[in-house]
Amino acid sequence: MLLYNIVRPFARLSFYAFYRKIILTNTDRIPKGKPVILAANHPTAFLEPCILACFLDRPLNFLVRGDLFVKPVYNKLLRGLNLLPVFRLKDGGYGKLKNNYSTFEACFEALANNKTIMILAEGSTIQEKRLRPLQKGTARIALGAMEQMPELGEIYVVPVGVNFTYADKPRTEVMIDFGEPMLTSEYWAEYEQNTNQGISKMTVELREHLLEHLVIIDEKEDDGLVEHLHRIYRTEQNWSSPPLISNSKTLLETEIKIGAKVNELEQDKKEDLKALAAGYFEHLQQFGLDDRALMGKDFSKLTVLFQLILGFPFQLIGKLWNYLPAFIGKYISDTKVKTLEFKAPVRWGASLGAFLVYMPIWFLIAAVSGRWEILGGSVVLLLLGYYHLYYQELKYRYLKSKRLKEVPAKQVEKLKEKRREVIKTFGFKR
């Protein structure tokens, strides 16, 4: 627990830099002072539990794949971060499965103390906007805890829908929505009569609840179309505006509805829409534009240019001072990670680790030299690194808006007409 409390504030700060926007909605649905299991989908290797650990008002205990705990040093480190191992058949065969009994006992003890456990209910990670069949571990733990500790009275299982705009990229958006708690007691009678049937029923209904909080694209072939439509409607609602941490559900609700409407389209209409949307975005690319430049806020103003000119030396200093730890994370992710689902998590984790070494070095330099202004300067330079990220995005928007003004008016109108045709054909209203 000590290591968890030490790392948590630094991890939280790192997420302010890693994401452009973190949207947490309906957190009030998580019961306070009660035994709670958060059951989430699993689009990345480990970012979703880390985000919730940083931004929820309580410590979390996580269940993660057991093969990570094989080496003693990793075992000690991971347990210090409130992680508990769950062994799957592929993690070591049937012999390893018996190790789950000790994990289940630890979960029961945590629930008995009104703690919150997070389970990645799909059991394995695939980066897609679909929900795979859930593993039965969530129901086994919830019903098993009630069986072992009937004095608890109730265990609350909260469905957690984790959605990313681009799960493999930094400086994007994450949207996490919490469902109404499922009451384990409602499955107890069936569990008493038939253990497997009770577990199966709870697992099936948990999946149904999770689907309500996720962007779902039924067919992989429709991923590109939904992405094009999402880009258009993000522009419509000024989706990237501050604050960084938000509780607005507008973006997520819109993206869920767009996915659902595409799923319902007749195939002929869907193919027509794919062609129109693809043509529109190809046309945009030909002119070096994006949808926000065409229809969003105009950034090509003198005030923005002055801000870029005046801010240039500060962002450059921030970039140079933060370059080494940031580069380490990117290098490891780009060269050592082959699996898409691990790209962003490893980049974030490696960068955080590098900064956790980098900053104490400056602390030691300040302490040895007796010049504590070095430490204060290091903090300022760290913040300038964050300003560099903001500066780069502002510069990008300025250049895109400037490029729009260089495109002939006739071509701009053609682009807008193509866009209107996509929206009209789709027929979606928020």
Contacts of 280 (CB under 8 A, 6+ apart): 228, 415, 418, 419, 421, 422
Contacts of 386 (CB under 8 A, 6+ apart): 16, 17, 318
d(CA 221, CA 298): 34
Give yes or no for residue 353 having a pLDDT over 70: yes
**Long-range contacts of 89-98, Cβ-Cβ distance < 8 Å, separation of 24 or more:** 91/65, 91/66, 91/67, 92/66, 92/67, 96/66
As given in the structure block, the two tokens for residue 110 are: 């945590």
Question: What percentage of the chain carries pLDDT values higher than 90?
Answer: 82
Question: What percentage of the chain carries pLDDT values higher than 70?
Answer: 91
Q: Mean pLDDT over residues 362-376, rounded? A: 94
Q: Is 98 exposed, middle or buried (0-12, 13-18, 19+ CB in 10 A)?
A: exposed
Single-letter amino acid code for the residue at 200 = S
What was the pLDDT predicted at 88? 53
Which stretch of DSSP H or E encloses residue 60? strand 60-65
Helix (H, G, I), strand (E, B) or coil at 133: coil
Phi then psi dihedrals of residue 135, to 5 deg: -75, 160
Domain ranges in the chain?
2-214, 221-287, 302-406
User: In CATH terms, is domain 2-214 a member of 3.30.43.10?
Assistant: no
Other Cβ atoms within 10 Å of 365 Cβ, number = 13
Q: Is 192 exposed, middle or buried (0-12, 13-18, 19+ CB in 10 A)?
A: exposed
Give yes or no for residue 275 having a pLDDT over 50: yes
What was the pLDDT predicted at 104? 83
222 versus 71: the higher-pLDDT residue is 222
What was the pLDDT predicted at 370? 94
Choose the weakest-confidence range: 57-66, 144-153, 315-324, 381-390.
Answer: 57-66
Q: Mean pLDDT over residues 269-294, rounded? A: 97
Give yes or no for residue 355 having a pLDDT over 80: yes
Single-letter amino acid code for the residue at 271 = E
Give yes or no for residue 209 having a pLDDT over 80: yes
Q: Mean pLDDT over residues 136-143, rounded? A: 95
Q: Mean pLDDT over residues 223-228, rounded? A: 98
Q: How confident is the model at residue 2 (pLDDT cuts 50, 70, 90)?
A: low
What was the pLDDT predicted at 239? 64
Contacts of 398 (CB under 8 A, 6+ apart): 299, 300, 304, 305, 308
CA distances to 52, 81, 142, 329 from 335, in Å: 28, 27, 41, 10
Question: DSSP alpha helices (H): ranges in 221-266?
Answer: 223-236, 250-264
Q: How confident is the model at residue 181 (pLDDT cuts 50, 70, 90)?
A: very high
C-alpha count within 13 angstroms, C-beta hemisphere, residue 392:
12
Q: Mean pLDDT over residues 239-264, rounded? A: 90
The answer to whether 277 and 229 are in contact (CB under 8 A) is yes
Give yes or no for residue 286 having a pLDDT over 60: yes
Q: Mean pLDDT over residues 222-246, rounded? A: 88
Q: How confident is the model at residue 363 (pLDDT cuts 50, 70, 90)?
A: very high
DSSP 8-class letter at 34: S
Q: For 87-112, what is each residue's pLDDT tens digit?
A: 655 555 445 555 667 778 888 988 99
Which stretch of DSSP H or E encloses residue 412? helix 409-426
Q: How confident is the model at residue 82 (pLDDT cuts 50, 70, 90)?
A: confident
Beta strand 156-164 with 173-178 is antiparallel
Instruction: Cis check for the bond before 243: say yes or no (omega within 30 of 0).
Output: yes
What was the pLDDT predicted at 70? 62
Give yes or no for residue 85 having a pLDDT over 90: no
Can you spell out the DSSP letters for 256-320? HHHHHHHHHS-HHHHHHHHHHHHHHHHHHHHTT--HHHHHS----SHHHHHHHHHHHHHHHHHHH
Give yes or no for residue 420 having a pLDDT over 90: yes
Mean pLDDT across the chain: 92
d(CA 299, CA 296): 9
Q: Mean pLDDT over residues 75-94, rounded? A: 63
Q: Mean pLDDT over residues 280-286, rounded? A: 98
Calculate Rg over the CA atoms of the chain: 24
Q: Which of 209, 220, 126 is nearest to 167 (CA)?
A: 126
Choose the weakest-confidence range: 77-91, 150-164, 292-306.
Answer: 77-91
Phi then psi dihedrals of residue 265, to 5 deg: -65, 145
